[in-house]
Every structure is written in C-alpha cells, then in structure tokens.
Structure 1
Amino acid sequence: MRNLFKGAIAFVAVIFATQLAQAQQKIGHVNLAEVIQATPEFKTAEGQLKTLSDGKTKELQDMYAMYQTKQKEANDKARNRSEANKETVDVELQKLGTELRDIETRINENQRVAQEELNKKEEELISPIHRKVSDALTAVSKEKGFAYVFDISSTNIPYFQGGDDLTPALKTKLGISATAAPATPAKK
C-alpha cells in the first residue's frame, strides 16, 4: 500500500512537472514580411525585378504597337475596297490577317515567357533572402528561449495580445536598423 501511495505521488509529480515545463514555454511573434522588406538585399532584388519587368513591358508594348499599326492598315484597306480593286484588296487583307494572327501569337508567347522569366528571377533573388532571415530567426529564437514563434504577416491569427515581438531582435541580428521602414511591395 505504501509503495502504491509513493507511485501515485511520483506519477502526480511527473505530471505536474510536465505541465509546469509546458507552461513555461515562451511564445513569440514576428512580422517576417516587414523584416524581409527591410533587408538591403530585398531592396536590390526589387530594383532588379523592376528593371526586368520594365524591359519586358516595353517589348510587349512595342509588339502591341506593331499589331495596332497592322490592324489600322487592314481597316483602311477594307474601307477603301471597291468592286474595281476587290481581288487585290482581298489578297492583301488575307495577308494582313495572317500577319495579325502571327503577331498576336508572338505577343501571347512573349507574355508567357516574360512571366516565366520574372517568376524565375524573383525566386532566384528572393529565396536566399528568405533563407537568411529564416536562419536568423532560428538563431534569435534559440538565443531567447522561444518554443514557438508565429509569423503575423502571413499566418491567419485573428487575435493575439502579449507574447514577445521578435521583429526588432531579428532586425538587429540581420544588421537592419530597427526603425528602418519596410520597402513598399513590388507592384505586379
């Protein structure tokens, strides 16, 4: 009976210690989007992506201008079509129709390729930044003894109060001024 009593007390002590240990786990939060956008690498990447995007946009605009010119030429020929020049104009309109379809196909293909290139370049430039910030967050979390850290910029956390904000500590770890304003998100 005495051993049973000691076993029960030991069991309760273990449960109590486990509950106490779990109750002491620290929970924090961080705004990763703000940190990532405040890095110098992000600002550089954002500039490179804008330059690439602007170049691709210019190419597509030039192609669209050529399409509009051919379209106007076809419309003018169709308006000036008469019985006397019907055969000649019809041949020219067919040729212009083929050219317009070809230009339209090239525009669509260039749009697709441009988007793929932009996505690839964005992945190439942004992935190392995410990795760097993630590694720094892991280090800061371990240094400060956090068991859980939530990203309030991307996780659906409808309410939180309290907990520790690791955003300033993470910025410090990355060498970013704690007052540095995040870059404005790139417009697509």
Structure 2
Amino acid sequence: MKNLLKSVVFASGLLLASNAVNAQQKIGHINSQEVMASTTEFKNASEQLQKLKAEKDKQLGDMFAEYQKKQTELNDKARNRSEANKETIDAEANKIVTEMREMEGRLQQNQEAAEEELMKKQQELFQPIQTKVINAINAVAKEKGYSYILDLATGAVAYFAGGDDLSPDVKAKLGVSATAAPATTPAKK
C-alpha cells in the first residue's frame, strides 16, 4: 500500500512537471500579409508599382494600337486588290506583313521587359517592408516569450525559439538511419 501511494505521488509529480514544461512553450499566430498590407510603406510601394504598371501598359497599348493600324491598312489593301493592281498591292501587302511581324517581335520583347522590370521593382519595393515585418515578429515573439509563431498567410512557422527536432526519432520509427542523406530527385531529361 505504501509503495502504491509512493507510485501515485511520483506519477502525479511527473504529470505536473510535464504540464509545467508544456505550459512554458507559448504558441501564437500572425497573418503577415495583413500586417504588411496595413503599413504606410506598403501602401506607398503599391502606389509606386501601380504607376509603373500603368506607364508600361500605356506604352504597350500604344505599340498595339500601331500594330492594329497596320492590320487595318493590310485589310484595306486586300479589299482594294484587283487583277489590274494585283502586283502592286501584293508587294505593298508583303511589306506591311513584314512590318507587322517585326512589330509583333518588338511588342513581345517590350512586354517581357516590362514584366521583368515590374517584378524587379516589386522586389525592390517590398523586400525591405517584408524584412521589417519579420524583424517585428521576431521582436514581439521574444518580448512576449513565445516559442513558436505560426503565419496564417503562408502556413509556415514565422518564428521559433529552438525546440526539439524530432526528425531523428521519426527516421528511427521509419527504420531509416539518422545520418541518411535525403533522397535527391533525378535530373529531368
């Protein structure tokens, strides 16, 4: 009976100790996109990016309008073609078709360049804001004693203060060597 009492007290003590350890790990969450979008810097960066996008859209629109003029000119030539002016019209039409192909190439190049410029500008504008938000998350987590902060926007862990890596235990459970290197995907042919 005395041993049973000691066992119950010991088990209770272990249970309380494990609860105390678990209670020390605080887990929080955040929506980083919402936080980032609420900053003044984000709003200013978004406006700058929209202005640049509008400028690029206008340039591409002007180029496309010029292309459409050539298309209309080609259609007019085809409508006015007769047996008497066939050679002249065909030569002019071939010249217009060549110009249109060149315009298509320039339009595609300019569209790709505009997309690349917009992506670079977006990275340039938003990266510092994202870094600022991450630093703020880390600071708040440390100040408030959180072990983990989950980001609802990305589904990832935004902050963690260490913790136990269970990878070796899971590998052992699967019968995999703890030092086994991860499998690589075969190169695509």
**How does the TM-score come out when normalised to structure 2?**
0.72
The number of residues matched between the two structures is 149
RMSD: 2.2
Q: Aligned partner of 1:86: which letter?
A: K
Task: Work out which of the two has the higher radius of gyration on C-alpha atoms and give 1 or 2.
Answer: 2
Q: Which runs of 5+ in 2 are unaligned?
A: 1-9, 157-189
Instruction: Provide the residue aligned with 2:42 in structure 1.
Output: 42
Superposed displacement of residue 115, structure 1: 0.4
**Greater RCO between the two (CA within 8 Å, min separation 6)?**
1
CA offset digits 1:120-155 (Å, max 9, x no partner): 000000000000010011000000000111111221
What secondary structure, in the 3-state scheme, does the structure 1 residue paired with 2:83 have? coil
Take 2:115 and 2:19, find their aligned partners in 1: how far apart are those partners?
A: 52
* Corresponding residue of 1:94: 94
Q: Tell me which residue corresponds to 2:84.
A: 84
1:146 and 2:146 are equivalent in the alignment: yes
Residues 75-119 of structure 1, C-alpha deviations (whole Å, 9 max, x = no match): 000111111111111110000000011111111111111000000
Distance (whole Å) between structure 2 residues aligned to residue 41 and residue 88 of structure 1: 60
Instruction: Specify the alignment match of 1:67 in structure 2.
Output: 67
Task: Spell out structure 1 runs of 4+ moving beyond 6 A.
Answer: 12-16
Residue 26 (structure 1) aligned with residue 26 (structure 2): yes
Correspondence list, 1:1-188, <5 A: 17=17, 20-155=20-155
Distance 1:13 1:96 in 2: 90
Q: CA deviation at 1:21?
A: 1.4
Superposition deviation, residue 14 in structure 1: 8.0
Deviation at 1:13, TM superposition (A): 7.2
Question: What amino acid sits opposite 1:37 in the alignment?
Answer: A
Q: Which amino acid in structure 2 is aligned with residue 117 of structure 1? A: E
1:19, distance to aligned residue in structure 2 (A)? 5.7
